[in-house]
Structure 1
Amino acid sequence: MTKHTIGTREEWLAARIELNEAEKELTRRSDALARRRQELPWVRIDKTYRFETDVGSASLAELFRGRSQLLVYHFMFGPDYTAGCMSCSSIADGFDGIAVHLENHDVALWAVSRAPLPKLQAYKQRMGWTFPWASSAGSDFNFDFNVAFTAAQQREGIVEYNYRRAGHAMDITPAPEAVVQFAAASGTDAPTYSLDRPGLSAFVREDGAVYHTYSTFARGLDGLWGMYQWLDRAPKGRNETGPWFRRHDEYGKP
């Protein structure tokens, strides 16, 4: 028998109207936060970064593909992974549907990872994705934007991720079971897996110069995670006690 509150349609409607006001307030706060993101100072990028893409080597400016804005999803796929991170993969499942809309609104969308391009291409083909994905192998790009770290930083406990030091589950020793599971699913161990982290960075190009405008990490990516937006509106919510999802081609497999 359910333990949830059971009520009449009138009781439901009264509670729903009250909740509606809270949801409207959250929307207004979200709009205000978006404006604050856009008001952040721009930081000019003078360092040269090179990426390997399906059509050859490219600079950061060339990733804009003629647009004035660029969104980069920092996809966790380290050089020693055999498959992309499961969390990043579930987020990326939504990219193909929105990329065309962004491209027609002056925004280029790319995923960028440290794994060599052939690994990314093979995994992209496996997943059936079409969005552009570049390799930053050999570049400082991921390190400079705080989504990749060295083994020395890890050993010394000086990894700074999400604007603080040692504040993430992947910084804990020994690694939590969830991190161990996600690492194994990417074909590596927890310490190696944790050298790469997820994030989103935004850039703008104006008067021939490229500027960094915004970055977010960890739970700051929740809004991009399509399935959770739906689950947050389902009767039982996220309803999770640990890792439950898989890559979309792995459901039904033992």
Structure 2
Amino acid sequence: MSKHQELKPAREMAEHGRRYPNESDEYRKARTALLAEEIELRRHLERVAEQRRALPPGGQIPEDYLFQGEEGPARFSELFRDHDTLVTYNYMYGPKRERPCPMCTSLLSAWDGQVPDIEQRVSLVVIAKSPIEKLAAFKKERGWRHLRLYSSAGNTFNRDYLAEGPEGEDFPGLNVFTRRDGTVRHFWGGEMGSESADPGQDPRGAPELMPIWIILDNTPEGRGTDWYPKLSYDKKG
């Protein structure tokens, strides 16, 4: 969206004239006001995306980290494959965990089917500190087909890119790297966490990465504060 392009007022755009069956005037008035806010939100998200894309070059990676992948060892620079942009997700499945983080797993399960589409544009990999055999076994159990998993057990990538604490605790992390003229640099990383969370809300980034929350945010119940995805559910769940 051009900075110089004049935009129609959101309130004017919200007056589209369409109606749902049997809706009241009260409902339509409130829905129109909400639609104007939704249009403004979309515009704000695009402004943020433009600002993100305009970031100056980030820091060069400290080393060409060595990972263990499902097909053998691979250097960080090799994870780009044929692309010049690499997206990495730090999965909370470190060696101290018997089972992986349910929230991370829910997110990655949603992403798995979209990997073939995503990788038309950029490279995407999932990184965790557990041995690759453990990661691959869970991938098979979960039925993931497309996600590329790598173990960072032998390097400092997690710690360097804010996904590992001083006691070895693991944190989720989304990072984007670029390769330009043979130089690999950090482009952007999610930095919203507990210290930036608003009262009464769980820490979350923006825009939302998890499809489950996007869907629930459109319902009267919302996402709530007392329920989170699980790795599995019984018949009653």
Instruction: Check whether TM > 0.5.
Output: yes
More helix by share: 1
Aligned to 1:145: 161
Q: After the TM superposition, list the runs of 4 or more consecutive aligned residues in structure 1 that deviate by more than 6 angstroms.
A: none
Instruction: State the SS of the aligned residue for 2:64.
Output: coil
The residue type equivalent to 1:76 in the other structure is: M
Indicate if the aligned counterparts of 1:200 and 1:221 stay in contact, CA closer than 8 A.
no
Aligned to 2:185: 211
Instruction: State the SS of the aligned residue for 1:57.
Output: strand
Matches within 5 A, 1:134-213: 134-151=150-167, 195-213=169-187
- Tell me, in whole angstroms, the C-alpha distance in 1 between the residues paired with 2:120 and 2:23: 47
- Tell me, in whole angstroms, the C-alpha distance in 2 between the residues paired with 1:252 and 1:90: 19
The residue type equivalent to 1:10 in the other structure is: D
Following TM superposition, by how much is the alpha carbon of 1:198 offset from its aligned partner in structure 2, in angstroms? 0.7
Aligned to 2:105: 89
The percentage of aligned residue pairs carrying the same residue is 33
Following TM superposition, by how much is the alpha carbon of 1:209 offset from its aligned partner in structure 2, in angstroms? 1.2
Instruction: State the SS of the aligned residue for 1:44.
Output: coil
The one-character-per-residue Cα deviations of 1:20-39 (angstroms, maximum 9, x if unpaired) are 11111111111111111112
Aligned to 1:225: 210
Aligned to 1:101: 117
- Tell me, in whole angstroms, the C-alpha distance in 1 between the residues paired with 2:92 and 2:207: 16
Matches within 5 A, 1:2-151: 9-42=24-57, 43-105=59-121, 107-130=122-145, 131-151=147-167
Indicate if the aligned counterparts of 1:199 and 1:221 stay in contact, CA closer than 8 A.
no
Following TM superposition, by how much is the alpha carbon of 1:41 offset from its aligned partner in structure 2, in angstroms? 2.2
- Tell me, in whole angstroms, the C-alpha distance in 2 between the residues paired with 1:31 and 1:112: 29
Q: 2:219 aligns with which of 211, 214, 234?
A: 234
- Which ranges of structure 2 fall in alignment gaps of 5 or more residues? 1-21, 194-203
Counting matched residue pairs gives: 203
Following TM superposition, by how much is the alpha carbon of 1:9 offset from its aligned partner in structure 2, in angstroms? 2.1
Instruction: State the SS of the aligned residue for 1:95.
Output: helix
Task: Give the aligned CA root-mean-square deviation in angstroms.
Answer: 1.9
The residue type equivalent to 1:224 in the other structure is: L
- Which ranges of structure 1 fall in alignment gaps of 5 or more residues? 1-6, 152-191
Following TM superposition, by how much is the alpha carbon of 1:253 offset from its aligned partner in structure 2, in angstroms? 7.4
- Tell me, in whole angstroms, the C-alpha distance in 1 between the residues paired with 2:235 and 2:126: 28
Instruction: State the SS of the aligned residue for 1:94.
Output: helix
- Tell me, in whole angstroms, the C-alpha distance in 1 between the residues paired with 2:104 and 2:206: 10
Give the TM-score taking structure 2 as reference length: 0.80
Give the TM-score taking structure 1 as reference length: 0.75
The residue type equivalent to 1:81 in the other structure is: R
CA 1:243–1:19: 2 relative to 1, 3 Å: closer
Instruction: State the SS of the aligned residue for 1:14.
Output: helix
- Tell me, in whole angstroms, the C-alpha distance in 2 between the residues paired with 1:8 and 1:65: 53
Indicate if the aligned counterparts of 2:64 and 2:77 stay in contact, CA closer than 8 A.
no
Following TM superposition, by how much is the alpha carbon of 1:145 offset from its aligned partner in structure 2, in angstroms? 0.3
Aligned to 1:163: none
- Tell me, in whole angstroms, the C-alpha distance in 1 between the residues paired with 2:156 and 2:25: 59
